[in-house]
Amino acid sequence: MQKNKKIAKILLDIGCVNINFRKPFLLTSGKLSPVYVDCRKLISFPKERKIIINEMIKQIRLKYKKNIYVAGGETAGIPYAALISEKIQQPMIYIRKQPKGFGKGKLIEGEFIKNTTSVLIEDMATDAGSKLHFVKSLRANKLIIKDIYVAFYYGVYKNADLNLKKMNVNLNYLATWHDIVSVSHNYLSQKDQKKLEDYISSIN
């Protein structure tokens, strides 16, 4: 089985994939969708989590060998970043969505050296628009950021490429909705599978 399909199957097996054509889900991007992937759930499954983390590390190691900060985005990216930074023995930081309102009012927590490379870790991305704040925050603090790593990427929104181009970053991922569709016939009725295929192909 191809790696992407293997990851898609894991997400289906542990219930990260939600499909409801009667009551759509509100996405982080503000869009309503009858499909939703909840990668936060993955942290409760050690065996499957280990597979996902190891695959993300393989991607990171293709570009970065050492001397990077593993930056987790609040909140879903933080556990992923913690697991990855521990395994590759690189320092971790995390980025707040907004200053906490007291103390030093920092957006980035943790110790770091300016002009050092960082990688942004998140659980997933829809149209990648919500990553803009994290990328801006890293760069405003004089950290270099060229790559975002996620377990799952919707891979269906046309404006995602535009958002990534604006940020001048690469999005690295393990599976998309197209991978889910390629294996979901083993989990859905024929009727729902057809609805899913039609919906995914209609997104722009």
Contact 131, 122 (CB under 8 A): yes
Q: Is position 193 within any domain?
A: yes
- What total number of domains does the chain contain? 1
pLDDT tens string 174-198 = 999 999 999 999 999 999 999 999 9
Span 1-9, mean pLDDT? 92
CATH of the domain at 12: 3.40.50.2020
C-alpha separations of 112 from 101, 117, 118, 144 in Å: 21, 10, 10, 11
The whole-angstrom separation of Cα 169 and Cα 50 is 26
Residue 99 lies in a domain: yes
62 domain-assigned: yes
pLDDT tens-digit map of 57-116: 999 999 998 999 999 999 999 999 999 999 999 999 999 988 766 656 689 999 999 999
Helices (H) and strands (E) in the chain, counts: 7, 12
Tokens of 187: 């989990």
Instruction: Report yes or no on whether pTM surpasses 0.95.
Output: no
Q: Is residue 204 part of a domain?
A: no
Nearest to 174 by CA among 122, 134, 132, 118: 122
* Averaged pLDDT score across all residues of the chain: 93
Which residue range forms the structural domain that includes residue 23?
3-197
On whether residue 81 sits in a domain, the answer given is: yes
Position 203 in a domain: no
List alpha helices for the chain, DSSP H.
3-13, 46-63, 77-88, 132-140, 159-167, 177-183, 190-202
CA within 13 Å, CB half, 134: 31
- Give domain status of residue 10, yes or no: yes
Is 133 within the bounds of a domain? yes
